[in-house]
Amino acid sequence: MHELVARFGPPLVGGALLGVASSIVLVMHGRVAGIAGIFGGLFLPGHDARPFRLWFVAGLMVAGAGLAFLSPSFFSLERVPGLGVVCVAGLAVGYGTRLGAGCTSGHGICGLSRLSVRSLVATLTFMATGMLTVLAVRLLGGAR
């Protein structure tokens, strides 16, 4: 039983926290908690709710820093790819979120909970693309 809790406890707690946080953002601010849209809106001129966006992004960074402090093993650096790979991956993700009009948090968490067909298609596309990317990297001799 302890093995099950150790293996599945953190993801279940994390998922529950994401659901609760997304619900709070929707109820209190009337906004979908899509990280790409919230972050991207910080850089668009004249975009609304800049203080909300700043606090949201700051909260993500503080939570990450807190987790790194409490459990550094979650942030192992032994298999970090090179800077070039990280830059290309970041640009690809950024392009994909613009092309898909949202990210996995916006579509996968918020959109699916609202039974959005568009979000279902987007989430299935994200998942399939991720699986194909992992397969391609492994077939080309990349990380395992």
- 79 versus 33: the higher-pLDDT residue is 33
Res 144: pLDDT: 54
Supply 73's token pair. 């093993």
- Long-range CB pairs of 47-56, under 8 A, 24+ apart, other chains included: 56/25
Closest by CA to 16, choosing from 109, 103, 102, 108, is 109
Domain residue limits, the chain? 2-139
Per residue in 105-133, pLDDT (tens digit) is 888 888 888 888 998 998 899 889 889 98
DSSP state of 72: G
Q: How far apart are alpha carbons 130 and 38 in whole angstroms?
A: 23
Res 66: pLDDT: 93
- Can you give the pTM of this predicted structure? 0.71
Res 69: pLDDT: 92
Closest by CA to 32, choosing from 22, 42, 47, is 22
Identity at 14, one-letter amino acid code: G
Per residue in 44-67, pLDDT (tens digit) is 877 677 888 899 899 999 998 998
